[in-house]
């Protein structure tokens, strides 16, 4: 089941309040992805203990608590349908993500008197497990087979998904269907909007599907009912993300000019595809972030990727002389921001060169130099792009390797003396007599986010790697995307943590990016703190300035 796969990937640290090591109540547990994953894992284990072919189904979560130990304990009270009976089970699931440990450590089930609502055959909401996705795909393909259009339709949105246990499984769902630019053919069956862009003048239908699954029959799946009402053209109501007015505003906001009509049409299609991706990220956003038309909204994934490392960073690379950082002990401040203490230069712009690693490195050294020497300097990224022969300039690099290169070169010049070009120059123009800042070593900082915060508050901004998937469309707020969108092991962007804080009940990091001040929150990115979001805690380093 997909939920079980997700369970191994999801964050396992909660900041829900309460005593350290105590249990934390989770409100609205059925809306919490981590709790749902733990519940599905428990249900699978409970069914594995049964002697009969009957299975427990139709889960309702009565209560859920978490306890941070060396990992996380999930204390769950769930009600399940077992034949004609209803059982209430108290289970404990233990997870230790860094060792891929998932196990049910305790379980106790008692029989309850079945109420009318909980009887076998009740309609219940379901998550997107493998069978549910098959039911939806089956319904969509049947819609296309029965449609009179020459072009495929794809769902813009799936909603109101439910499952009913009858003589088989009866799935119901609503789909907002949009005609694409791809003709109906076997080759296009599994293509999404990225490969088959929506036809902005094509038909749009709002449909209700009912699909029956009977595993013992051939065929297994049957479309028992579907009804559609034709909707307006895509964007015709003035609210759709792909409306032409939105694209016009985007062009005005970011001073976008295209040389030909053909190029403008191409960019509009890319914009439409990207706004659909942004909507999907927004739909499952766990924080307060808003995603939408940023300056990069007309770029393809390949074009946007030029600003990132072409290959994910290797988390195992570490120079021999890089030491482990000493973590300060004692209570750390509730919030801290090095921008308020003169240790952060203005937001810079790397352009279309994949030199993020160089900006992350210089940002860290700028902070260390300002704290130790009481002088804030804007240091040269172009020196690293041209002269660091271990890294690959606009084709990517690692801060840990850049520290080594800086020590071998003898230091960094200022931005003024060695200005940024945004491309690989064939010659290194480093002038040792112009060196403005030197470093004596580097340290690797803990992956524990409390320890990262403690080190930052005492010592200065930290160079980090992050998965930048959600950043292309980030407009502001505290970003907390699902791990399925933002794999923490695939770091492809170098940035700088300059502080941390809390907004309401949401703890966050303050991250300086290198995409100019018109991106994000005036060039900054706030990310949820405490769950290893997008791998931001896995490659934290700093230079050492004596």
CATH of the domain at 68: 3.10.450.10
Range with top average pLDDT, 3-7, 112-116, 316-320 = 316-320
Is there a single domain that holds both residue 187 and residue 332? no
Same domain, 384 and 528: yes
Whether 316 is catalytic: no
pLDDT at residue 234 tops 50: no
pLDDT mean over 60-83? 84
> HSE (CB half, 13 Å, CA atoms) of 456?
33
DSSP letter string, 67-84:
EEESEEEEEEEEEEEETT
What CA–CA distance (Å, rounded) separates 529 from 126? 30
Same domain, 324 and 455: yes
Q: What's the pLDDT tens digit per position in 422-477?
A: 999 989 999 999 999 999 999 999 999 999 999 999 999 999 999 998 899 999 99
Task: Tell me: do 49 and 104 sit in the same domain.
Answer: yes
Do 179 and 309 share a structural domain? no
pLDDT grade, residue 198 (50/70/90)?
confident
Do 392 and 486 fall within a single domain?
yes
d(CA 318, CA 369): 23
**Same domain, yes or no: 382 and 500:** yes
Among residues 170, 201, 231, the one where a domain terminates is 231
Q: With b meaning 16 or more CB within 10 Å and e meaning fewer, what string describes 129-159?
A: eebbeebbebbbebbbeebeeebbbbbbebe
Q: Region 182-200: what's the mean pLDDT? A: 76
- Is 237 within a domain? no
- Catalytic one of 356, 387, 486, 534: 356
Task: Please determine, for residue 392, whether its predicted confidence score (pLDDT) is greater than 60.
Answer: yes
Residues 520 and 438 in one domain: yes
Give yes or no: 272 in active site: no
Q: Decide if 268 is inside a domain.
A: no
Residue 512 CA, distance from chain mean position? 18
What is the domain count for the chain? 3
Catalytic residue among 207, 387, 493, 540: 493
> Which of 70, 97, 120 is the endpoint of a domain?
120
Q: Look at residue 282 and tell me if it is in a domain.
A: no
493 catalytic? Reply is yes
Catalytic residue among 32, 199, 459, 513: 513
Angle at 82 (CA atoms; ends 76, 88), nearest 5 degrees:
30
- pLDDT of 113 strictly over 70: no
Parallel, antiparallel or unpaired: strands 151-166 and 168-183:
antiparallel
Q: Are residue 362 and residue 502 in the same domain, yes or no?
A: yes
Q: Are residues 483 and 446 in the same domain?
A: yes
What domain range is 430 assigned to?
A: 302-544
Task: Please give the pLDDT value at position 59.
Answer: 67
Contacts of 146 (CB under 8 A, 6+ apart): none
Q: What is the mean pLDDT of residues 496-510?
A: 97
**DSSP class of 379:** B
The secondary element (H helix, E strand) that includes residue 369 is helix 356-373
Q: Are residues 362 and 511 in the same domain?
A: yes
Supply the CATH number for residue 479's domain: 3.90.70.10
Instruction: Please report whether residue 213 resides in a domain.
Output: yes
Specify whether 176 is located in the same domain as 114: no
In order of 180, 234, 238, the CA distances from 201 in angstroms are 9, 7, 14
Sequence-ordered list of residues with C-beta below 8 angstroms from that of 193, at least 6 positions apart, any chain: 154, 180, 272, 273, 276
């Amino acid at each position: 089941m997909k939920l079980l796969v997700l369970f191994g990937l999801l964050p396992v640290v909660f900041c829900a309040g309460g005593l350290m090591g105590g249990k934390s109540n989770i409100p609205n547990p059925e809306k919490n992805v981590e709790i749902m994953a733990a519940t599905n894992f428990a249900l699978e284990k409970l069914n594995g203990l049964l002697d009969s072919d009957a299975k427990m189904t139709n889960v309702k979560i009565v209560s859920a608590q978490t306890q941070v130990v060396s990992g996380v304990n999930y204390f769950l009270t769930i009600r399940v349908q077992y034949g004609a009976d209803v059982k209430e089970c108290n289970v404990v699931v233990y997870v230790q993500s860094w060792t891929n440990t998932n196990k049910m450590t305790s379980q106790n089930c008692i029989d309850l008197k079945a109420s009318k609502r909980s009887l076998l055959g009740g309609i219940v909401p379901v998550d997107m497990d493998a069978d549910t996705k098959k039911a939806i795909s089956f319904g969509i393909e049947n819609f296309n087979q029965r449609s009179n259009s020459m072009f495929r339709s794809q769902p813009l949105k799936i909603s109101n998904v439910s499952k009913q246990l009858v003589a088989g499984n009866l799935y119901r769902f609503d789909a907002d269907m949009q005609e694409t630019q791809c003709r109906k053919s076997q080759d296009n069956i599994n293509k999404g909007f990225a490969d088959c862009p929506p036809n902005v003048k094509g038909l749009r239908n709002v449909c209700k599907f009912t699909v029956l699954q009977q595993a013992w029959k051939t065929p297994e799946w049957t479309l028992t009912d579907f009804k559609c009402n034709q909707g307006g053209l895509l964007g015709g109501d003035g609210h759709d993300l792909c409306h032409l007015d939105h694209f016009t505003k985007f062009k005005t906001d970011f001073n976008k000019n295209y040389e030909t009509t053909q190029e403008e049409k191409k960019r509009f299609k890319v914009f439409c595809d990207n706004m659909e991706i942004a909507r999907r990220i927004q739909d499952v956003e766990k924080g307060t972030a808003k995603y939408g038309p940023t300056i990069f909204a007309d770029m393809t994934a390949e074009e946007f990727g030029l600003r990132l490392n072409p290959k994910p960073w290797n988390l195992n690379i570490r120079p021999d002389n890089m030491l482990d950082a000493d973590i300060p002990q004692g209570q750390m401040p509730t919030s801290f921001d090095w921008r308020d203490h003169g240790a952060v230069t203005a937001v810079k712009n790397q352009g279309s060169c994949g030199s993020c690693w160089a900006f992350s490195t210089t940002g860290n050294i700028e902070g260390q130099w300002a704290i130790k020497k009481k002088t804030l300097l804007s240091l040269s990224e172009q020196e690293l792009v041209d002269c660091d022969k271990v890294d690959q300039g606009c084709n990517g690099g690692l801060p840990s390797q850049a520290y080594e290169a800086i020590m071998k070169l003898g230091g960094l010049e200022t931005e003024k003396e060695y200005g940024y070009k945004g491309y690989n120059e064939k010659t290194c123009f480093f002038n040792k007599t112009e060196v403005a800042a030197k470093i004596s070593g580097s340290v690797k900082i803990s992956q524990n986010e409390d320890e990262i915060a403690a080190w930052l508050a005492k010592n200065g901004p930290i160079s980090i790697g992050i998965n930048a998937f959600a950043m292309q469309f980030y407009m502001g707020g505290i970003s907390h995307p699902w791990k399925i969108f933002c794999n923490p092991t695939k770091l492809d962007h170098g940035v700088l943590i300059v502080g941390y804080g809390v907004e309401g009940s949401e703890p966050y990091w303050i991250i300086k990016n290198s995409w100019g001040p018109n991106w994000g929150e005036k060039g900054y990115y706030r990310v949820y703190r405490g769950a290893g979001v997008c791998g931001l805690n896995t490659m934290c380093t700093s230079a050492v300035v004596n």
